[in-house]
Amino acid sequence: MLYSQDHEWINVKGDVGTVGITDHAQSQLGDIVFCDIEPAGTVLSAGDTAGVVESVKAASDIYSPVSGEILKVNEDPADDPALLNTDPVANWLYTIRLNDPSELDGLMDEEAYDLYCRG
């Protein structure tokens, strides 16, 4: 699993990545009450807004860690946003077909991400 500076995780198999928010992100956000991801078919560049999650206090954009086309959106967190607090890894947000796997080189591994969060 790889991590972005914007606190998303991505798990890549072949040319398909599964994207979610990290435990650090959900902990910083607090109670999540809204989740909305762009529909399947949306084409994103790395860093584009893929959707939004909202806590009680604020709305936070989800930035796609990689470029590609959204293949599938997980409806569970949209129906029950609190799932993102209880298990942000099991409750992935969307899958994406990667345009450029070399973008993964710019992401962090778990150790680097832990250091980044503590920084």
Partner 1 sequence: MPSDTKEQHLKKTPLYEKHVALGAKMTDFNGWAMPLQYGGILAEHLAVRENCGVFDVSHMGEIAVSGDGAEQFLQTLLTHDIRRLAKARWIYSPMCNPDGGTVDDVIVYRQGDGFLVCVNAGNTDKDFAWMRLNAPSGVIVTDLSAHFSQIAVQGPKTEEILAKTDTSEAMLIAKTGYTGERGVEIYLSPEDAPSLWDQLIEAGATPCGLGARDTLRTEAGLPLYGHELSKDISPLEAGLTRFISFDKGPFIGRDELFLQSHDENRRRLVGLTMGGRSIPRPGYAVLCGGAPCGSVTSGGPSPTLGAGIAMALVTKDADEYEVLIRGKAEPASRTELPFYRRRI
SS3 letters for the chain?
CEECCCCEEEEEECCEEEEEECHHHHHHHCCEEEEEECCCCCEECCCCEEEEEEECCCEEEEECCCCEEEEEECCHHHHCCCHHHHCCCCCCCEEEEECCHHHHHHCECHHHHHHHHHC
CB of 54 to partner 1, least distance (A): 5
The answer to the question of residue 111 lying near partner 1 (CB under 8 A) is no
Q: Which residues are within 8 A (CB) of 87 and not within 5 positions of it... i.e. 6 or more apart?
A: none
Is residue 86 part of the contact set for partner 1 (CB under 8 A)?
A: no
Question: Which residue stretch of 11-19, 39-47, 56-64, 90-98 sits at the interface with partner 1 (rule: CB under 8 A)?
Answer: 56-64
- Interaction mask 15-44, partner 1, x per CB under 8 A: ----------x--xxxx-xx-x--------
- Give 15 or 75: the residue with its C-beta nearer to partner 1: 75
48 is an interface residue for partner 1 by CB under 8 A? no
Residues that bind partner 1 (CB under 8 A): 6-7, 25, 28-31, 33-34, 36, 52, 54-60
